[in-house]
Amino acid sequence: MKRRLIASAAAALITLSTAAYADVVKFGIIAPFSGPFAVWGKQFKDSVEAFQKLNGKSVNGHEIQIIWRDEGAGDASKSRQFAEELILREKVNVLGGFALTPDALAVSEVISESKTPTIILNAATSIVTRKSPYFLRVSMTVAQYVSPLGGWAVQNGIKSIYTMVSDYAPGIDAQDEFLSGFEKAGGKVLGKDRVPLNVTDFAPYMERALQSKADGLFIFAPAGAPSVAMVREFERRGLKAAGMKLLGTGEMQEIFLPSFGDSILGAISSTHYTESNQRPENIAFRKALTEVAGKDAVPDMASIAVWDALGLVYETVKALGPKFTGDQAIDFMKSKTINSPRGPISWDPKERDIIQNVYIREVKKVDGKLINVDLATYEKVRDPWKDNHPDAK
């Protein structure tokens, strides 16, 4: 009894002292910091540190506190468990994270019940934001960043194509979205291969692609070991020497380019963020990032997503103060337009999904470094899947 009295007195004191000063706004982020996707967690954390270094750790005197939870190796049940813990015990004002789609889907009920505004930092399957009105996506959807590539390829002399995608939902979405644009523009499909996720030796698949004598090869594999192995085999087997163009998406992010070496030169990719673009926002972003994470730090899709998510949270606190309901926050966030380092971004108010530019880039060597250089920009690209499936739930 006595101990509880002291404890509550102490708690009251602390509350009093902080209330007199300012409030704490809590942003809980659930992401993998260990396991095969650990690179996501690291990129998130570096980017958050960079953001807070540049913009401070508080808004109008209210401290913005980031609470991290490690969901490990893509474990959706853990994602849900952490969401409950963060909402009930830590009383977070905003939730975020989710590298993989199942991690995001697993929390949809929890956040709907508690009305917690939740920012998706990666999970790229189109349907996710329809699963709860409190979801808002700052990353991208696979269909979105693939959609312009098929048409671009045909216009730029790639008349026939072979596709090779990892055999999982995003891979098949990417293949379908690419082919719909490609065939609409009059391109010819010479073959479609789905590669099981556990494959490590891509030699037989590349041999098939080589025999097809197509003008280009479209690939989609989970970023990391599989995509690196796929691209390496493309080079080693002489598909490039045979005049085939390599087309991809996240495989050619700048962070992975050193894994390939010079033979990656000339590879084409389409994504929503060109890491070396010269917008002032991006220059400031990369400068802050190298200050906290070392001169070799390279931002990727993860860094940019959490950067913009924090931007949204800061704006929200600036406009609504430290106390807001989930509906207020989501309504505010989805109405914003942000000048992100990747270019201007806004949200579809109905779907709460991001609208952004998609860039077609080519790998080139500039000042001795492999980087992506923009060839074409498609402005304000929406998620085509949502427009094609207006009623899917």
Partner 1 sequence: MQALTILLDGISYGMVLFIISVGLTVTMGLMRVVNLAHGAFAMIGGYIATVLVLQAGVPFLLSALIAAVVAGALGGLAELTVYRPLYRKGELPQVLLTIGLCFVVIAGLTLFVGATPLPAIVPASLDRMVDIGFRSYPAYRLFLIVVGAVLAFIVWLIVERSLFGARLRAAVDDPQMARAVGMNVNRMFTVTFIGGCALAGFGGAIGAGVLPLEPFYALRYLVYFLIVVAVGGMGSFRGSLVAALAIGIVDTAGRYIVPQFGGFLLYVLVFGLLLWRPNGLLPPKSVA
* Residues near partner 1 (CB under 8 A): 34-36, 38-39, 42, 167, 193-196, 198-201, 203-205, 207-208, 211, 224-225, 228-229, 232, 235-238, 241, 255-256, 258-261, 263
Distance of alpha carbon 324 from its chain centroid, rounded? 26
Taking the complex as a whole, how short is the minimal distance between the CB of residue 171 and partner 1, in angstroms?
Answer: 13
Total residues belonging to the chain = 393
What tokens does 253 get? 């992010």
Closest to 271 (Cα-Cα) out of 384, 356, 182, 385: 356
Instruction: Indicate the residue among 254 and 383 with the shorter CB distance to partner 1.
Output: 254
User: b/e for 192-218, b at 16 or more Cβ within 10 A?
Assistant: ebebeeeeeebeebbeebbebebbbbb
| Per-residue tokens: 379 | 């402005």
**Among residues 38 and 76, whose Cβ is nearest to partner 1?**
38
Q: Token pair of 187, please?
A: 């391109």
Residue 37 C-beta: closest distance to partner 1, Å: 8
- CA-to-CA distance for 232 and 240, rounded, in angstroms? 11
Range list of H helices, the chain: 2-21, 38-55, 76-88, 101-105, 108-114, 142-155, 169-184, 203-212, 225-236, 280-293, 301-320, 326-334, 384-388
Least Å distance, CB 263 to partner 1, is: 7
- Of 232 and 382, nearer to partner 1 (C-beta) is 232
95 or 165: CB nearest partner 1: 165
DSSP string, 17-65: HHHHH--EEEEEEEE-SSSTTHHHHHHHHHHHHHHHHHH-SEETTEEEE
On whether the CB atoms of residues 39 and 224 are closer than 8 A, the answer is yes
Q: Which is nearer to partner 1, 262 or 327 (CB)?
A: 262
Q: Shortest Cβ distance from residue 347 to partner 1 (Å)?
A: 31
In whole angstroms, how close is the CB of 36 to partner 1 at the nearest point? 5
Query: CB-wise, 128 or 164, nearer to partner 1?
Result: 164
35 or 102: CB nearest partner 1: 35
CB of 97 to partner 1, least distance (A): 17
Q: How far is the CB of 117 from partner 1 (least distance, A)?
A: 29
